Chains A and B, each alone.
Chain A
Amino acid sequence: THIKICIYFNSGIRGICVAGYTGAKSEILELLLPLKLYAGENQGLCAERDFKVQHGGFSEEPVESLIHIPGTRCVVTTGSSSSALQIWDIGGDDSDVIKRTGVINLKSTPAKGITIAPGLTDEPAVLHGSCISEVQLTEIATGRVLYTVAKESSDSVSGLQFVNACVFLICVSNGTLLMGDIRDPSTCDYPLQDSKSGLHWSFGLRSDSSQSEPSCCTVARLSSSGHMLLYDLRDLQSPFCQTQLNVQQNTSKNDFLNVSWAPVLNRCLSVSGFDGTVHIYNTMDWSTEGQSPQPVFSHRGHEMSHEAKYSSSLPVVTTHFWHQSRPKTLLSAATDGSLHVWDWVDKIIDR
């Protein structure tokens, strides 16, 4: 059994939440990022290079995904076997134990993993679903269902994200995107122009702020064979850019497919899940025709690690995140249990 790590960056709190398991027990840890990350350029007074375990807790089942609800000390997890979402309280200063405070039971045990995303409403809520017809928004404190998708479809969900407090996107694993609004049960569907079977799709949304209007957002669609399409959220029918990334299709673990937009830098996105690297691209250079774009940076740390040398299979990056404020800092985790925090350098522009 490999170790899987889910990371979610706690906005506003200088920490991340990590869940990993070996064997039977799964641990959820709130880690404080090393102080070194916050030290200024020439300020050398930080000895601390280590992650500090601020809080920790145990989960009976392996954690498949983990999200943090903004504005709270609350974390929601899904497990591989159960039909419920677990709610956890990270805790305050009086104790370092993360306690489970509640459960959201689902109607039935889903065939595939459940995708979860934090709601952006005032009352803490979580958007979740394993297939389209099961997507609903549940209030955490009461378990009340605030919204359900009115579409009958058993297509499996590969991604969920809120654009603002009401508008959200669902990405289906066959590549179709659905846009919904929690004030209206119907959704707008945007299937792919020529959908190829056997491919798994994931998406990444960039919005300028959590309350932004759809006009400021860009969406990237990525397939497990490296096909990438970029859209303005106002027009999900026609991509403003299409290209083929030079990556090897990894058919074994579609769950790891991940595309993220940089929150600070303009038109910069990152891709992982094909192998043990994270690739960063500057989409400004992209043109619709021509060869595959080259990444401006590739983080090979997980492949080159000490542990990777001695294991039979190369690690695969399971997830990665951009730091909210440091423009060129990312966090990534891989199947060998490694967690990296790294800065990248654009060889052409930076010296």
Chain B
Amino acid sequence: MIHYFNTLKVFTFVLHPWLVCKLTDMHPSILLNVCMCCFAGAGQDVGRSCILVSIGGKNIMLDCGMHMGYNDDRRFPDFSYITQNGRLTEFLDCVIISHFHLDHCGALPYMSEMVGYDGPIYMTHPTKAICPILLEDFRKITVDKKGETNFFTSQMIKDCMKKVVPLNLHQTVQVDEELEIKAYYAGHVLGAAMVQIKVGSESVVYTGDYNMTPDRHLGAAWIDKCRPDLLISESTYATTIRDSKRCRERDFLKKVHETVERGGKVLIPVFALGRAQELCILLETFWERMNLKAPIYFSTGLTEKANHYYKLFITWTNQKIRKTFVQRNMFEFKHIKAFDRSYADNPGPMVVFATPGMLHAGQSLLIFKKWAGNEKNMVIMPGYCVQGTVGHKILNGQKKLEMEGRATVIIGTLDVKLQVEYMSFSAHADAKGIMQLIRMAEPRNMLLVHGEAKKMEFLKDKIEQEFSISCYMPANGETTSIVTNPSVPVDISLNLLKREMALGGPLPDAKRPRTMHGTLIMKDNSLRLVSPEQALKELGLSEHQLRFTCRVQLHDPHSDNDTLGRIYTHLKSVLKTYSIQHVPDGTVIVESIVIKVTSSAEEPNLKVILLSWSYQDEELGSFLSTLLKKGLPS
């Protein structure tokens, strides 16, 4: 990885100040700036996101997720990629968290407090508000319920959140003098963001999880034509053609309706802030349309908390909700009421939303225990369940559960007779969505995470063909280097500009580079292009002229003048586009190259051809000497 300013300074040492340099000699590859991505997590590994990017000398960590499938240290990202021992603070310029899902922020307190990081952690306001709740909830299951020891504490979560710097949408934040970041709306969940990271003229956009279709309470992801050098996108659903949302919802409503019609009870375990709002709005609309009477309940405390956060972050919801919020609170439902634990024993049909989402504790588990024995009832799991939770067990088809009382003493078994349904309502982009995002942002390179390489070759081909950009799919732990073409802004002196204009020819065009001559002066952090004379004047040096001479021996049985004439004719036939003159004083001039012929009196047929040229015509001069060494045609 090379910092481009360093590279340019090296370049000036190579040049001698009195040599005129051609700007075109500065090949773009010298100004190479490599942008690297090193994966400590995602990269064909569905379950945890943690990406390291090096750009313009800055190191950024994107997301710090926990792998929900493992119970040991494999659930944390492998930070030894950054450093073998010690704290991460001096190796990272910042950490950015895209949204509050645990597979994106679950390892954050572990990273900042147990491994050690004191720098800034950036996330949006809603993410900052909701993250600690999820982290604490998760910590409780892992430590209190499962008795694990190598885990972060409640205090660590609090200390970690103190390092958070909140982001607003579309607002550029200067992390330091060179690094700036900007958040874009991602949809997916409340507060989810896509982030643009910029150093100088190079940028990377990381999408986190996003979706391109709006739903009932969130809008769709949006980004401007920022043309990043690299777009990093999740591709969990890239090889899926998603069923229409309407069908999915209809299926959900059908199941709920059927259960309620036959007098059964439906339990939907949810996390307070997530898909629950979406499902509530869906049920409310359906109940209203179908004029249904069965009661729907939302766990106590849940409504207030949810309302509080949605009200607080109203700008993060979609247009429709914002509009109706003024008249009435969108999250105050006509058909959905607050739940009281005694209602669980009421006869007759009902639908209950209760926390927590994985049936691992609390109210949802209590209700589940009461309703599990009746086959008329149903439980609908709307999301992923961690191993070890009741939710996970019943989704795996377990029909008998061991119920634990205090101190994990088993007090009995529970027969699971109710219907178990799993409906994923998560909002992710599919292949069509990914193509849409690429069209919006116009990146120069593409990188896909969260999928399997073997299963994504078709998508890679599709992207490469349609957009003519490279598409990368690194594995976990793999480093990808991407070459960028940074543009280097240079000030040009007016004199030099005028002189170039005076030369005539086509006007400068961004698409058609034209060779020009000048001297690049790099001082402090500024770059100036001036005429060679001015540069010499500024440096207090006098200009040297460089001329090369070369002698070529040739046998030619003619007079010196005739030999010269033959040389003239020969060159005229070979170099058709060059200016060649035969001057009467006995020289042939090709551009600025002077050719003379002499011979000695002793050997008049041994001609010595003298070639002389200035530095500018070096190439041509060398060519001519090689050509003449071959001899003249007869």
Residues of A within 8 A of B (CB): 25, 27, 29, 31, 34, 42, 44-47, 49-58, 93-98, 306, 339
Contact = CB atoms under 8 A, between A and B. Distances in A.
Interface stretch (B111-119, B126-134, B242-250, B487-495): B242-250
Question: 10 nearest interchain CB pairs?
Answer: A56-B458, A44-B421, A49-B243, A51-B241, A47-B424, A50-B240, A47-B422, A53-B239, A96-B458, A50-B242
Nearest to A31: B241
Contacts of A95: 454, 457
Given A34-B243, A44-B422, A339-B241, 20 more contacts: A29-B241, A44-B255, A44-B419, A44-B421, A47-B424, A49-B248, A49-B251, A50-B241, A51-B240, A51-B243, A53-B240, A56-B461, A58-B461, A58-B462, A93-B454, A96-B454, A96-B457, A97-B458, A97-B461, A98-B458
A52 B430 CA distance: 11
A226 to B, nearest CB: 31
Contacts of B378: 44
Contacts of B454: 93-96
A52 B248 CA distance: 16
Nearest to A57: B458
Contacts, number: 69
A94 B242 CA distance: 24
Given A44-B421, A96-B457, A25 B465 contact: yes
Nearest to A42: B419
Contacts of B239: 52-54, 96
Nearest to A52: B240
B220 interface: no
A59 to B, nearest CB: 12
Nearest to B255: A44
Contacts of A339: 241
Contacts of B18: none
Contacts of B459: 56
A27 B397 CA distance: 38
Interface in B420-461: 420-424, 431, 454-459, 461
Contacts of B455: 96
10 contacts: A25-B465, A31-B241, A47-B423, A50-B241, A51-B243, A56-B458, A58-B462, A95-B457, A96-B239, A306-B244
A34 B241 CA distance: 10
A51 B242 CA distance: 6
A318 B247 CA distance: 21
Given A42-B419, A47-B423, A306-B244, A53 B395 contact: no
Contacts of B457: 95-97
A149 to B, nearest CB: 38
Contacts of A27: 462
Nearest to B422: A47
A24 to B, nearest CB: 10
A259 to B, nearest CB: 27
B343 to A, nearest CB: 24
Interface in B362-392: 378
Contact of A96 (B246, B255, B422, B456): B456
A198 to B, nearest CB: 39
B79 interface: no
A15 to B, nearest CB: 12
B246 A306 contact: yes
A27 B239 CA distance: 14
Which of A27, A54, A94, A96 is the most central at the interface, judged by chain B CB atoms within 10 Å of its CB?
A96
A50 B420 contact: no
A47 B395 CA distance: 10
A46 B251 contact: no
Contacts of B395: 45
A42 B397 CA distance: 12
B472 interface: no
Given A44-B421, A45-B395, A50 B458 contact: no
Contacts of A31: 241
B237 interface: yes
Nearest to B397: A45
Nearest to B380: A44
A30 to B, nearest CB: 10
Contact of B422 (A46, A53, A306): A46
A45 B465 contact: no
Contacts of B242: 50
Contacts of A94: 454
A294 to B, nearest CB: 26
A53 B458 contact: yes
B602 to A, nearest CB: 75
Contacts of B465: 25, 58
Given A44-B420, A95-B457, A96-B457, A49 B247 contact: yes
Contacts of A45: 395, 397, 420-422
A34 B420 CA distance: 19
A34 B247 CA distance: 13
Contact of B241 (A25, A47, A53): A53
Nearest to A34: B243
Contacts of A96: 239, 454-458
A79 B462 CA distance: 20
A29 B239 CA distance: 10
B163 to A, nearest CB: 37
Contacts of B461: 56, 58, 97
A53 B248 contact: no
A302 B316 CA distance: 34
Nearest to B251: A49
A25 B244 CA distance: 24
Interface string B495-530: 000000000000000000000000000000000000
Contacts of B421: 44-45
Contacts of B462: 27, 56, 58
A45 B246 CA distance: 20
Interface in B200-247: 237, 239-244, 246-247
Nearest to A25: B465
A43 to B, nearest CB: 9
Contacts of A53: 239-241, 431, 458
A50 B238 CA distance: 12
Interface in B385-431: 395, 397, 419-424, 431
A50 B466 CA distance: 25
A50 B397 contact: no
A31 B244 CA distance: 16
B415 to A, nearest CB: 16
A347 to B, nearest CB: 17
A156 to B, nearest CB: 34
A97 B455 CA distance: 9
